[in-house]
Structure 1
Amino acid sequence: MNLGFGLSRRRTTTDDAGAIERAALRSDRFRIEREADWQRLETIVRALEKGRLRKVSDEDLLALPGLYRTVASSLSVARETSLDAATLAYLEALVQRAWFVVYGPRTSLWDWLRGFFTGGWSAAVRSIAPDIAVAFAVMVAGTIAGWLLVSHDPEWYFALVGKDMAGVRVPGASAKDLHGTLFGNDGQNAMSVFAAQLFSNNAQVSILSFALGFAFGVPSLLLLVQNLALLGAMLWLYHGAGLTLDFAGWIAVHGTTELYAIMLSGAAGLHIGRALAFPGQRPVLQAAAEAGQRSAVVMTGVVMMLVLAALLEGFARQLVDTTPGRFAIGGFMLALWCSYFFAFRGTRRWREANAHRSVPKGTSR
């Protein structure tokens, strides 16, 4: 029994050694057959990673996509046949590096930001100008609707503003109490809470207005009406106390940025909905994809505008305690946004680099 067990163990050891040797031979043969393509791809990728594009021949550039697919196929085969770990690690690293060269972003984050602020954002906003006009009209209508509702029945005020957000700003409040919420240090803490609630509400409206645009833009417009009806109700309240200009100045500090952002987000959602409802000669999915790309650029800027509005709301309005000063800040921000979006046309370099995006497929420039 002991002799048999020894022979069996020696036979097993011999078989294992043979299996390892066969695996090594198979791995070596696999590497030798394909190593030339691997090395060529690695040389091209290394040169491109170091920014040495001029040192890469036209022939290698044309061969790059094919080499990438060949090496990716080699990696797939290596995984299925369980080749040695070193070969697998090498191929995985090479395929990952080659993917970023072939399919990865062509510009750095800094270059993207520079292009975004020097033409990309303003061009995207101008491309949805009809939707912005509709959103602006809807916001004005919502403000008027809120004013008219509460003027006919003050109970509507609590339906629009809510008791938690209203605080001391309720129908019947004295002019002194309302004035105290706008100026001085006594009402600043309570007003800061109200401002934070207002900002949170406006941020949610902005995001939802864009996100619900797929429903043909109808929810986006309804959200604009609802949100601006709140502003109309507040205007009615302060107007009754003779504080219309003071309240408008209080709102203007951050409102010209925040309300502008809400308008753009509603317009972005409406733009997507309009593309779905009226795709024209394009397939619906293509029209929606193109509208989504433009709207996404607009919404990237909207997020930045909301952050800036929060800073103005938290600092500028507290430091400037006069109505003319607040109007000056709000007016400056409004002029800045209008001039940037509709007067600034971007750098020549950006326009030339992106001119092809405005040309429909199948047409010539």
Structure 2
Amino acid sequence: MDLDVFVTAHRAEWDRLDALLRRRRRLTGPEADELVSLYQRAATHLSLIQSRAPDPALIGRLTSLVARARSAVTGARRASWRDAVRFFTAGFPAALYRTRHWWIPTALLSTAVGALIGWWIATHPEVRATIAAPAELRELTRPGGQYEAYYSTHAASSFAAQVWTNNAWAAFLCLTFGAFLCVPVLWVLFQNMLNLGVGLGLMSSAGRLDTFLGLLLPHGLLELTAVFVAAGTGLRLGWTLIDPGPRSRRTALAEEGRAAIGMAIGLAAVLFVSAGIEAFVTPSGLPTWARVGIGVTAELLFLLYVYAVGGRAARAGETGDLEAADRDAGLPTAA
């Protein structure tokens, strides 16, 4: 395709479309029809140029023009409470359900790694000696020591905010690092499991594993599940770069990336719940069975949400991506 000839042939149409978009008064009926027709033609022109003669400057101009025209034709849509309700009742649970084949194996393997690290530390005194001096280890693991005091040192509200921020950041890193071919996600995940394994190993070596689990399980079940979901989603996003399947790599990455952004928003809400449990339930005076029961209940409700609500939404065609009306069309729909 001769780009100069193409531009000369269609410049007048683009200029006319630009002029109609700049008009501040209401368009007449014929002018509105003309705007729609010119928008469709400009979208076709953009597609042709992108595929046959990609010129960055011209593509940039037409992309902006088509986007403005699309906004004028379809109207700007404002987010509403209906969007939020739809997200939490369809989009987010469907994304959780669709990615379960990634985050459930991630959870199982990570838990095994954490348990193995804990066993190694608990059964090898020389390993514990490399972590801290004996006096420091006793301070960490004694009744009322640092492991227990951690949950009650600060006011519950500020502690919940701090925990939520830290966990949300870890989940965000797992999701965003997925675009770097999975390796950084594995590193973030390993660091989390290493911290868990150290706590398991040290408290087990001191004969206080039951105390540690009584402090961990109330909030840790839901919290770790959220981290595993983020890591699994990040790994899926990274694998999309390697194997996009039947879609083009660009299309696949865009779709999975948008779903991952939605996942980050949903997981922030899940982590908000776990942070509340960690701040108000874990250090409370409730008996251990009651605190652990609250954590198990929260975890079961999350899994029910994934499989019941998410499974139904996924079977109905939900993917966790934006609605079709909010996505740029992959190809123009009319000439």
Aligned to 1:89: none
Compute the displacement of 1:256 (Å).
Answer: 2.0
| Partner-residue secondary structure (3-state), 1:104 | coil
Aligned to 1:124: 95
Compute the displacement of 1:101 (Å).
Answer: 6.2
**Larger deviation: 299-308 or 116-125?**
299-308
For residue 205 of structure 1, what is the amino acid of its counterpart?
A
Q: 1:284 to 1:238 in 2, by over 3 A?
A: same
Aligned to 2:153: 189
Which of 184, 195, 202 is 1:219 aligned to?
184
Q: 1:66 to 1:351 in 2, by over 3 A?
A: same
TM-score by length of structure 2 reads: 0.66
2:218 & 2:211 partners in 1: Cα distance? 11
Aligned to 2:218: 253
Equivalent residue pairs, number:
278
Aligned to 1:337: 302
> What are the within-5 Å matches in structure 2 for residues 305-316 of structure 1?
305-316=270-281
Compute the displacement of 1:308 (Å).
Answer: 2.1
Greater RCO between the two (CA within 8 Å, min separation 6)? 2
1:182 & 1:104 partners in 2: Cα distance? 52
1:100 & 1:139 partners in 2: Cα distance? 50
Q: Does 1:210 align with 2:175?
A: yes
Q: 1:103 to 1:323 in 2, by over 3 A?
A: same
Check the 8 A contact 1:212/1:219 in 2, yes or no. Answer: yes
Check the 8 A contact 1:181/1:191 in 2, yes or no. Answer: no
Deviations along 1:184-239, whole A, 9 cap, x unmatched?
x9983279799887665533322211111112112112211221121111012222
Q: 1:195 to 1:230 in 2, by over 3 A?
A: farther
Check the 8 A contact 2:99/2:233 in 1, yes or no. Answer: yes
For residue 295 of structure 1, what is the amino acid of its counterpart?
A
Compute the displacement of 1:303 (Å).
Answer: 1.2
For residue 256 of structure 2, what is the amino acid of its counterpart?
A
| Partner-residue secondary structure (3-state), 1:317 | coil
Compute the displacement of 1:173 (Å).
Answer: 4.4
Identity of aligned residues (%): 25
1:309 & 1:186 partners in 2: Cα distance? 16
Larger Rg: 1
Q: 1:354 to 1:211 in 2, by over 3 A?
A: closer
TM-score by length of structure 1 reads: 0.62
Q: 1:357 to 1:211 in 2, by over 3 A?
A: closer
Compute the displacement of 1:240 (Å).
Answer: 2.4
Consecutive unaligned residues of structure 2, counting only runs of 5 or more, are: 1-18, 41-66, 325-329
Q: 1:61 to 1:314 in 2, by over 3 A?
A: farther
Q: Does 1:144 align with 2:118?
A: no
Q: Does 1:108 align with 2:79?
A: yes
Which of 65, 70, 78 is 2:36 aligned to?
65
Q: 1:203 to 1:174 in 2, by over 3 A?
A: closer
| Partner-residue secondary structure (3-state), 1:154 | helix
Which of 318, 321, 327 is 2:292 aligned to?
327
Compute the displacement of 1:336 (Å).
Answer: 0.9
Q: How large is the Cα RMSD of the aligned pairs?
A: 4.5
Deviations along 1:93-137, whole A, 9 cap, x unmatched?
xx99993662533x6320111101111110011111221123213
| Partner-residue secondary structure (3-state), 2:181 | coil
1:248 & 1:356 partners in 2: Cα distance? 37
2:218 & 2:259 partners in 1: Cα distance? 29
Consecutive unaligned residues of structure 1, counting only runs of 5 or more, are: 1-32, 45-58, 70-94
Which of 91, 94, 99 is 2:71 aligned to?
99
| Partner-residue secondary structure (3-state), 1:343 | helix
Check the 8 A contact 1:254/1:312 in 2, yes or no. Answer: yes
2:135 & 2:263 partners in 1: Cα distance? 35
